Amino acid sequence: MCWTRWRTRPGKRKRRRPEPVSEFSLIERYFRQCGAARADVLLGVGDDTAVLDLADGKLAACVDTLVEGVHFPADTDPADIGYKLLAVNLSDFAAMGAVPRWATLALTMPQENDHWLQGFAQGLCGLAADTGVALTGGDTTRGPLTVSLQLMGETGESWLTRSGAAPQQRIYVSGVLGDAALGLQCLNGKYDAGADHDYLVSRLA
């Protein structure tokens, strides 16, 4: 597939025509070396499928989607979107006791935006590198801004499930419950947190 980059036609100030931008050029520019360099990725980003060298454990997988106007405001920092997209999947893995290894990305945008893509890749790939996750493939298309990420990894012979919780077991949380909701109110102008504004907004990611 091809993206479309819009530019002004020579001699036609108000008329523009599309200039195709290939999916492969986007991969090379932003996602070729995204995340950790893993020896178990035999074939990664840029081909029809990834080829992974699996161990003897069980494969764990989850997926999350973020949509502009539903999960984040239009003016959200693209680095925060990239970070959050992986972070919400990592949270699911932590809840199951699984180890994250590989990810695939589906990216839908109305048109190519270098600034947005650079920020998004910085947030996503930075967290991926920190957590040992390799981006192994994905897809791009034109449309309303929507990003989806599938995270895959490994788990042993036993894993944690919601239905497996039992009385007297401990529950662990990170951060303070309610911080993300308060951060959303800050973004929507419904709450003035003063000096705590930046911290609360960061909890959204």
Q: Using the structure block, give the residue that is written with the tokens 């990239």.
A: 82
Q: CATH 3.30.1330.10 spans which residues of the chain?
A: 16-156
CATH topology of domain 16-156: 60s Ribosomal Protein L30; Chain: A; (3.30.1330)
**Is the CB of residue 102 less than 8 Å from the CB of residue 131?**
no
CA-angle at 73, arms to 72 and 79, nearest 5°: 65
- Three-class SS state of 112: coil
At 97 the pLDDT is 87
**Is the CB of residue 156 less than 8 Å from the CB of residue 58?**
yes
pLDDT in tens, the chain (205 residues): 344 343 444 454 554 544 455 666 777 777 877 877 888 888 877 777 888 888 777 899 999 999 998 888 888 889 989 999 999 999 999 988 899 999 999 999 998 888 999 999 999 999 999 999 999 988 888 999 999 999 999 988 777 777 788 899 888 877 778 777 777 777 777 767 776 756 656 665 5
Q: How far is CA 152 from the centre of its chain?
A: 13
At 24 the pLDDT is 67
